[in-house]
Amino acid sequence: MKRFILLGFIGIIILASCSPVIDKQLQSTPVVSATETPTKENLPTKIETIVPSATINPTETPTFTPEPEVPNWIAYVSLEGNVILQDSQSGDEIALTTDGVSMMSMMSVPYILYSDPVWSGDGLFLVYKKSINTPLPDRQDYLDSLVVYDVRTEESQEILVGESLTGFSWRPGTHIISYSLMTDPNYFTARGSVDESLAKGILGFDLDTMQTLELVPSQGYSLIWPHWSPDGRFVGFDEIIYMEGRGNFAYYDFEDQEYVSWERPIGVYDWSQDGENLVYDYLTYAPNGEERIFINDRYDEDETQIADTEANYYLSNPLFSPNGGQIIYKETDLTLDTNATQLVVMNLESKHKEIILESADVFDVIWSPDGEMVLLVIGPYNSPTLMEVNLYDLTTREIGNGWWPAWQPVQ
């Protein structure tokens, strides 16, 4: 009996020694059938250990260098008469000129006046007017030119030296400066009658080629104050008929090569984003209290009054918002000696109106490039303040003192 027990115990040990060993690694093990003889090919593959070539310290974090912020400039003419660039975010300033004189100064010697800074559509160039004024016993003698500042090179160049300029603007999508010239005094032969041979058209200066060109030939009248549609297809201007006041509104269609005149003045106007509509105020000379805001298609076939006010008030200076969904305009009390103006923003779809500023002596009004703010010039005229108004919460911020602000387009 003991012999059988001993033999059974020995058999168990032998069977245990033949049992497979479980691989503790997380890898599948090849299965060898009971009838298959293990070979080198079907044995488990040896796992190769890869040693990192570099040791990473878990306490170290990658360094990140943020891109420097590109300034978004507001250009204006300071109270001292110099052209200033101010970063709309940080408030940092750069003086582009140092030889200007305040427009409020009375000088008996030649002096320089700077005015009307305007940005190119791509925001790369700023152009402004330079006038050398020489006081004479019976008049002031003016010598005009334009100065172009390149924000990339921070260099300026003077063009159109010696011209007598009445207005200038950039053609959108180009580096062409459109401009108009002072009318020859002999152009006016009688009231409402002119000498067509002395009429001047809208001219241009191509900054890329440094060449002058005629953009719009005259059609019997001198043309002044070029004002472009945002897409650059149309340029509006005034046909000069009288020595004072606004002339008849006309425009040129560069796509269809067509000159169109409405044969009446419409006052201060602005183009819609697609160039198919205009808003205007009929403020053609001194206000008379009847000026209101109208919208019309460019064919002059659908004039509609879109804003009204009380008696003894007048509306003026309408501007489309950058997205075209709103307009802003001024509402002024004609009975007061002071220029008591409130600013109104109107939604063109709902016709909802909101007063964003009350009882101020407002001169210039411009939209920010994103349409979220407006920038104002608020009097008194001899010492105006540049004020920013946030259209969401109507908070205000003073950014300086001066005239003719121009906000650089967003890149």
3-state SS, 238-263, equals: EEECCCCCCCEEEEEECCCCEEEECC
Q: Which runs of consecutive H residues, i.e. helices, occur in 109-240?
A: none
Tens-place pLDDT, residues 109-155: 999 999 999 999 999 999 999 999 999 988 889 999 999 999 999 99
In what side-by-side order are the strands of the sheet with 277-280? 269-271, 277-280, 293-297, 304-307
Give me the pLDDT at residue 105, please.
85
Question: 374: which 2 tokens?
Answer: 């407006």
The pLDDT assigned to 32 comes to 41
Residue ranges of domains in the chain, CATH in brackets: 164-265 (2.120.10.30)
pTM: 0.82
Burial class (CB within 10 angstroms; exposed 0-12, middle 13-18, buried 19+) of 155: exposed
Summarize pLDDT for 347-367 with one digit per residue, the tens.
Answer: 999 999 999 999 889 999 999
For the cut 90, the answer to whether the pLDDT of residue 14 exceeds it is no
Provide φ and ψ at 197, rounded to 5°: -70, -20
Which is more confident, 51 or 103? 103
Bridge partners, 73 (sequence order): 87
Q: What is the CA radius of gyration of the chain?
A: 37
pLDDT confidence bin for 13, thresholds 50/70/90: very low
Q: Measure Cα distances from 392 to 345, 349, 389 in Å.
A: 12, 18, 9
Q: Residue 16: its pLDDT value, please?
A: 41
**CB neighbours of residue 240 within 10 Å:** 24
Distance in angstroms (rounded) separating the CA atoms of residues 280 and 153: 39
Query: 3-class SS at 134?
Result: strand
What values do phi and psi take at 170, rounded to 5?
Answer: -85, 140
